[in-house]
Structure 1
Amino acid sequence: MAEHKHGEMDTTVQEKTFEGFVRMTVWSVVGIAVFLIFLAMVNG
């Protein structure tokens, strides 16, 4: 079995995936908040 050398793995793909996930989550939360505010204004 090969020796593991800490810090040699290329993580650029994982970092881009995580960045996309965080961006999608933020936009989803903003969209839901806007939708809830819209519902409150319409039904108010």
Structure 2
Amino acid sequence: MAEHKHGSMDITDQQNTFDGFIKFTKNATILIILFLIFLALTGA
């Protein structure tokens, strides 16, 4: 069985996926807040 060396795995794909998820979550949160403000101001 091969020995595992901590920190030797290439994790660039995981980092890119996580960065994309954080960016999506941030943008979605901002859009939801803006939509709620719009609803509050228009009284819809």
TM range (shorter): over 0.9
Q: Structure 2 CA distance, aligned partners of 1:17 and 1:35?
A: 27
**RMSD (Å) for aligned C-alpha atoms:** 1.2
Q: Does 1:12 align with 2:12?
A: yes
Q: Output one character per residue of 1:1-44: Cα deviation in whole Å (capped at 9) or x when no partner.
A: 21000110000000000000000000000000000000000108
Number of aligned residues: 44
Structure 2: any 5+ residue segments left out of the alignment?
A: none
Structure 1: any 5+ residue segments left out of the alignment?
A: none
Written as runs of structure 1 = structure 2, the 5 A alignment for 1:2-41 is 2-41=2-41
Q: Structure 2 CA distance, aligned partners of 1:35 and 1:2?
A: 53
TM-score by length of 1: 0.94
Moved >3 Å (runs of 4+): none
Identity over aligned pairs, percent: 52
